[in-house]
Every structure is written in structure tokens, then in C-alpha cells.
A = this chain, B = another copy of it.
Amino acid sequence: MATKTATKVAARVSAKGAPRLRNKAEVTPDADLIDMENGSDIETRIYDTVFDSVMTQRLRPGTKLPESSLCELFDVSRATVRKVLQKLAHDHIVELRVNRGAVVAAPTPEETRQIFEARRLLEDVIVRLAAANATRADITALRAQLKQEHNAMHRFAQPEWARLASSFHLRLAEVARNPILQRYLTELVSRCSLIVALYEPPGNASCEHDEHARVVDYIEKGDGERAAKLMDEHLRTLEANICVEPEEPDNSLASMLGLQ
């Protein structure tokens, strides 16, 4: 049964992603354009698809990711899928259990505390850097991002909005002009999305739009101190809104069937 569920979810993933490939020749032409770092096109595509599905909470924590399913979905060999899963595991997006395959990571309450603490401290540093380095163009770009976010919220486009709200924090890291800290924050933000998906009180908002806007205001003024303080409160609110009770192993079947 678990297998069936995973397959169905994976199918949705592929539906969202680019159309299936028949062979390598089809994907080669435009590969160079997207190519970043070292990933050989198709690998980054698989990675990004899974990653994006986790960020938008279509792939929920604990979901199994069988190699064979991913193979036929993306029409690649197991070696390729395997490499991608390794990378996702290194980024703590999935958990790799020996001889038992990969599942979407499900952080424990203690890990949750550590992740949020690390994120608060890291964003504090990043916001100050952003306030020090922001150009006029940066502010304009951030405001454009905020507008998109605002629109998505009013359109009740939940997945889109969740993505944009997370994206705002990463854009801020861009302005800080330190790719290393940006990479660390990327990992933490995605893990936070994971946590929200795991412990979400149904129908709870993840990020207040106004707080984002006010952070940008302070950054524009170069007031890193106030911007950092506001961001800290913003993240504490986010953390407080998730109910992280140790009733983790419960929601397996009974609740899904509406019993209990």
C-alpha cells in the first residue's frame, strides 16, 4: 500500500515537471542553458523536481521514494536516480536507510528545535549583511517579489504562495552577497518547509506578508539592527505556530480513515 501511495505521488510530480523524455538526444539542446555547477542536466532536473515538490509540500515527510518508480518516471537508469538520492540525502531532504530505500525526511522535535535555532541565528547575520550591501536595484527586486507574494496570497494559491514566501528569505540571502551562507540558508529553509508539512495545524498560514515588507523597509534604510530584530520575531512566530507534539507515530492510518 505504501508503495502504491508513493507511486501516485511521484506521478503527480512528473505531471508538474517537464514532459517525459524518450532519449538523451531530446534533452541535450537546451541543457547548456540550465546547466549549473556540475550536475549533468537530467540529474539536476530530477533533483529540482523532488526538491520543489517538498518545498511546496506535495511530497510529505515520510513518503517513500522507490528507485524503480523514479526510474520510469524520468526514464533514466537506477544509477542516475541513486546519485540524485544521495545528493538529496546529503542536503537532508530525504533520509537514506540502508537496504530500506529513501523516504522524505521527517525531522524529530529535537531536530526541529535545532533547525529553527540555526535558521534564526543565520538569518540574523544575513539580514545585517543585506542591510549593509543592498543596492537600489536589490530593493526594487525584493519589492517585486513581495508583490507576487501578495497576489498569490489573495488568489488563495496556497502552493504558489508557500513557495514565494520561502523564496523571499532566499532572495534576501542573495542580497547579502555571500553564496556560502545563502546555501546554508537554502538548506534550512527547505527543512523548515518540511517541518511545516509534518506538523502543520490545518489551514495555518506560514509567513505574514506584512512582516516581510517591513523587513525590506528597514533594509532600505540600512538599519540592520531593527531588520534583524524583526526577522527574529518573524521566525519565532513561525516556530510557535507549528504544534510540535511528540504524537508523531500516530497519524498513520486511523486518522487517515477518519476513525479514532
Most buried by B among A38, A96, A114, A180: A180
Bound-state CA distance A87–B181 (Å) is 19
Q: How far is A249 from B97 in the complex, measured between Cα atoms in Å?
A: 43
* A89 and chain B: residue at smallest CB distance: B38
Q: Is the CB of B121 within 8 A of A125?
A: yes
A178 part of interface (Cβ distance < 8 Å): yes
Contact indicator B98/A38 (Cβ below 8 Å): yes
Tell me, yes or no, whether A12 is within 8 Å of chain B by CB. Answer: no
State the number of copies, please.
Answer: 2
Residue numbers of A with Cβ under 8 A of B are 38, 40, 83, 86-87, 89-90, 96-98, 114-115, 117-118, 121-122, 124-125, 129, 178-181, 184, 188
24 contacts between A and B (CB under 8 A): A38-B89, A38-B96, A38-B97, A38-B98, A40-B98, A83-B86, A86-B86, A86-B87, A87-B90, A90-B90, A114-B178, A114-B179, A115-B180, A117-B178, A118-B178, A118-B180, A118-B184, A121-B125, A121-B129, A121-B181, A122-B125, A124-B125, A125-B125, A184-B184
